[in-house]
C-alpha cells in the first residue's frame, strides 16, 4: 500500500492523503474545487466548481501515471441536488465518453461551503 501526496494538487485540509494505491487499485480522497496555488474555491457556480474538481482529480491520478479514463467508480456529493444537471454536463465532458459507475448524493453541507465534492476509485492497467 502506498500513500500519494501530489505537490500539484490542492493540499489536504485534514489528516489524509490525496490517494492510496493498493495493488492495481487507486482510492482517491474527495476533491473540492480548490485552486492548488491559492487554496481558494474556484467559481461560485456548479459548472466552474465541477470543472476544477475534475482538474484536481486528473492531477492526482497523473501523479500515478493514469488518467480520468481509468476511473471505475465515482461518488459525487452535491450541496444542492438542483445542481445535478450543471454538474453532470461538466462531469460528462471531462470524461470524454468514459462512463464509470457512479452515485450522486445531496448532502447537508460540504467543507468550506463548496458546491460539489467528488471521490473516485481508479484502476492501474
- The pLDDT tens digits of the residues spanning 8-46 come to 999 999 999 999 999 999 999 999 999 999 999 999 999
List, for residues 45-73, the tens digit of each pLDDT value.
Answer: 999 999 999 999 999 999 999 999 999 99
CB 78 within 8 A of CB 84: yes
C-alpha to C-alpha distance for 93 and 52, rounded to whole angstroms? 13
CA dihedral 111, 12, 102, 68 (to 10 degrees): 140
125: pLDDT strictly greater than 90? no
pTM for this entry: 0.96
C-alpha to C-alpha distance for 114 and 102, rounded to whole angstroms? 20
* CATH number (domain holding residue 35): 3.30.1330.40
C-alpha to C-alpha distance for 33 and 42, rounded to whole angstroms? 6
C-alpha to C-alpha distance for 36 and 81, rounded to whole angstroms? 26
The total number of structural domains in the chain stands at 1
Range of the domain at 117: 2-123
CB 123 within 8 A of CB 24: yes
Burial 58-82 (b: 16+ CB within 10 A, else e): bbbbebbebebebbeebebbbbeee
Amino acid at each position: 500500500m502506498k500513500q500519494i501526496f501530489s505537490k500539484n494538487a490542492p493540499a489536504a485540509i485534514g489528516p489524509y492523503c490525496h490517494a492510496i494505491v493498493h495493488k492495481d487499485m487507486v482510492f482517491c480522497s474527495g476533491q473540492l474545487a480548490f485552486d492548488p496555488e491559492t487554496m481558494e474555491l474556484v467559481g461560485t457556480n456548479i459548472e466552474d466548481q465541477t470543472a476544477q474538481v475534475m482538474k484536481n482529480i486528473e492531477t492526482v491520478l497523473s501523479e500515478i501515471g493514469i488518467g480520468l479514463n481509468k476511473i471505475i467508480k465515482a461518488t459525487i456529493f452535491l450541496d444542492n441536488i438542483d445542481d445535478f444537471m450543471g454538474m453532470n454536463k461538466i462531469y460528462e465532458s471531462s470524461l470524454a465518453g468514459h462512463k464509470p459507475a457512479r452515485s450522486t448524493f445531496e448532502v447537508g453541507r460540504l467543507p468550506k461551503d463548496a458546491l460539489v465534492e467528488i471521490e473516485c476509485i481508479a484502476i492501474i492497467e
